[in-house]
Structure 1
């Protein structure tokens, strides 16, 4: 007979866990209220008046540099890009208190000559800090910065940069070796001959950031990298960027982030939340990625929302709601880490998601690519509610922990996957609570026994 005290404890624990699985709207509201939009001074400068020619041929970089210098002299302002196609043979480097405003019909088209993005700058590549080619738009230690307007930013990533992918192995392996061996940052120099592609837009150690309404096309690598930054609003932007590793938005070691009303169309993850890789990431555990709100977005690309695989400093307090797909995704929601990472993924709440056809609908794995050893991650308190999916060509729900490091406290409430090759694969997980989960055709009342 079950001990009454144990039974009551079990009942209370299960009840508490069920209660905690509810979407915490008040917490979301408090995060959004904490995010500050940039304050931009009244000064304005038009790049065309400084000699920029919107003819798609002439190099407009000198005019853009001059405009940014004038903004700096005036303690900030709005840098206006009027209608036209502006070729830039090199990067835009932000200063504080500036709004780069692309008017309707304006396009910034970056050169694809790698030498134009030297000298190297301090940046990060797949979770490891290093010196490399400058991102095409780069802001370092800036506050109150914005990219707005109805124009297009084109990274010309489909030719020379795309060819870097097959040659990046040497640089990638060296960067990871330097990470694991704690090589001093000053000695991590890449750039020429290492073939590590630059990000399109990177905000690094910045705060009070707005990216609104612009269109991002044809990035060399990750499209929008939010690195060690905070108080960030990304809204109303759209994408058509289908090259290798064209993640849409990568918050990394960043906090207090709002991503809303975005139309994704990417050659990789739509949103990939990261927090450094392996040894270096674990030493930065005071700056996890946290307090990230993703809502009212349209997903299209490889995966919708991803956490990992570089997440060694930890990821917590992620809230995703009211999103849908406008095309095929390989995976809808994907939490991935491996035994090289360490760190944790916890307090993730996802609700009101409509998926069409996917390979896998909801996928949580602590053994990504079967790699690594010695640093298993903690994955806990992950809550899904009101998720619908028309078809999963592989699996509906996958949860993969380790026997000695189980995934804990997963709730699945009101999940309907109309068709799936494999329904559920659940291994090395504890306290997985399912309520109203339907995979395949819903059962009706049992049929009566035949009289014949």
Structure 2
């Protein structure tokens, strides 16, 4: 009973904060305190000791496999990758208690031959299935890290990029399997279906650290946090501009800290997801929740996105002290449609500096106008202390449904200096605006003469 009352108290508190337009700093602090960094044993192995060659030509796949096997035998350790360019014809599969340390001047350069990547249990755009292995893949692991000042290059701009034009049949097949509850063992993709693999995926893992590395040229999503918890992503940077190169995708994941990240992506910087349609709605006990994004530099398509694959629900998201470096299409973007169901609630965004965007703040329950029968609940969203230089389309957009209105939206201390369309507020209730300026601020009228 005490546990139930505690969570009920938290829920009531979050609603109260949203209604008042306040940022729940204590809640953020409690999440950060709960997140655990990985504990790595003292054993170390330098890949040069195992015969690695950083000449950008030799295949080092067997070296990384051997290093992981040695760490498993020792119950964990650090794999050191010194300066050099290491070609790897196939994926790296993690074991528990390992830190892959890529030192300054070192680059992992993965093969772009699809035949090098065997099928593994994974996910693709919100549907669980078997597909090409992510380039770096951890499944059922704990206490794992990727660190150092080196680079991971996914070689995604040639063969993998060509898959985009051929993926439609495979994508539609995966969605039909989702909607028809096809058993997982029958969801086999890989060769002939053209569904590109993620660059890095942590699946059903906990106590994760990704720190300071640079990610370039991913085939698909860059860093996918799938059904994982207690995650710290900090100090990393990107230059990954291929199709669907989302920076970070937490999905069915909780207790996530993303900080001091410099994005430069061909798609969303952070895209928070929670499964798709029928399959996602069947997993409502595993929403994406307790996600903190702070002190980041945004550049790409959208800054922070929730959805559209969010059918298990997304809650307790905190974004603060971020800014753009260059263009974004949309700054903060909450999107779902009538196929999804689920909920988006308790979203807090403050102290954001946007430059040139198409739309500054955008909330829609009718993404692409698709679907029917499963409208989503969107409530308790708080935006505060946000500036934007120019919105070439809309400053603020809120789009609900007549029979499923978006509820409890707080907009406080918002300044959008220029916008083609100032505000579109449709099918929403209890929208509170305090000190919101779109366009030139009105002056105090003078007495008529």
Q: Which category of TM-score, normalised to the shorter sequence, fits these structures? A: over 0.9
Aligned to 1:424: 423
SS in 1 for 2:280: helix
What is the 5 A alignment of 1:35-50? 35-50=35-50
For residues 263-293 of structure 1, what are the alpha-carbon distances to aligned partners after superposition, in whole Å with 9 as ceiling and x for unaligned?
0000000000000000000000000000000
Q: Could you tell me how far 1:48 is from its partner in structure 2?
A: 1.2
Alignment of 1:31-70 (within 5 A): 31-70=31-70
Give the equivalent residue in structure 2 for 1:12: none
Residue in 1 that maps onto 2:192: 193
Equivalents in 2 of 1:111, 1:380: separation in Å?
45
Deviations 1:387-415 (A, max 9, x none): 00000000000000000000000000000
2:71, 2:21 → 1: CA distance? 48
CA separation in 2, counterparts of 1:132 and 1:25? 40
Aligned to 1:442: 441
Question: Which residue of the partner structure matches residue 367 of structure 2?
Answer: 368
Structure 1: where are the runs of 5+ without partners? 1-14
CA, structure 1 residues 122+397, in 2 after alignment: closer, same or farther (shift >3 Å)?
same
Q: 2:409: which partner in 1?
A: 410
| 4+ aligned runs moved over 3 Å, structure 1 | 15-20
SS at match of 1:31: helix
Total equivalences in the alignment: 435
By how many angstroms is 1:17 displaced? 6.8
TM-score (normalizing by structure 2): 0.96
Residue 95 in structure 1 maps to residue 95 in structure 2: yes
Matched, 1:260 2:264: no
Aligned equivalents of 2:447, 2:75: Cα separation in 1: 80
Q: Secondary structure at the match of 1:397?
A: strand
User: 1:18 Cα shift?
Assistant: 6.6
C-alpha contact (below 8 Å) 2:151/2:213 kept by paired residues: yes
Q: Which residue of 1 aligns with 2:179?
A: 180
1:343 equivalent in alignment to 2:379? no
Rounded to whole Å, the distance in 2 between the matches of 1:77 and 1:308 is: 37
Contact 2:18 2:409 (C-alpha < 8 Å) held by counterparts: no
- In the aligned structure 2, how far is the partner of 1:31 from the partner of 1:286? 19
Equivalent residues of 2:17, 2:24 under 8 A apart = no
- Whole-angstrom CA distance in 1 between matches of 2:36 and 2:396: 37
Cα distance in 1 between the residues matched to 2:414 and 2:233: 29
Deviations 1:198-250 (A, max 9, x none): 00000000000000000000000000000000000000000000000000000
3-state SS of paired residue (1:269) = coil
Equivalents in 2 of 1:269, 1:282: separation in Å? 24
The answer to whether 1:76 aligns with 2:76 is yes
Matched, 1:154 2:153: yes
Distance 1:134 1:17, change over 3 A: closer
Where does residue 9 of structure 2 map in the other structure?
Answer: none
User: Which stretches in structure 2 are left out of the alignment for 5+ residues?
Assistant: 1-14
Q: Which residue of 1 aligns with 2:4?
A: none
- Deviation digits for residues 318-354 of structure 1, max 9, x if unmatched? 0000000011000000000000000000000000000
- Give, in angstroms, the shift of residue 16 of structure 1: 5.4
CA RMSD of aligned residues (A): 0.9
| Distance change in 2, residues 1:228/1:18 (3 Å) | closer
User: Aligned partners of 1:21 and 1:189: how far apart in 2?
Assistant: 47
Residue equivalent to 1:386: 385
Take 1:327 and 1:31, find their aligned partners in 2: how far apart are those partners?
31
Partner of 1:117: 117
The secondary structure found in structure 1 opposite 2:269 is strand
Asked whether the equivalents of residues 18 and 381 of structure 2 are also in contact (C-alpha less than 8 Å), the reply is no
Residues 8-23 of structure 1: matches in 2 within 5 Å?
Answer: 20-23=20-23
Quote the offset at 1:446 in angstroms.
Answer: 1.3
**2:414 & 2:21 partners in 1: Cα distance?**
14
Which residue is equivalent to 2:105? 105
Aligned: 1:242 with 2:241: yes
* TM value normalised by structure 1: 0.95
- Indicate how the Cα distance of structure 1 residues 375 and 255 shifts in structure 2: closer, same or farther if over 3 A, else same: same
Partners of 2:447 and 2:228 in 1: how far apart?
63
User: How far does the alpha carbon of each residue in 1:360-385 deviate from its partner, in whole angstroms, 9 at most, with x for none?
Assistant: 00000000000000000000000000
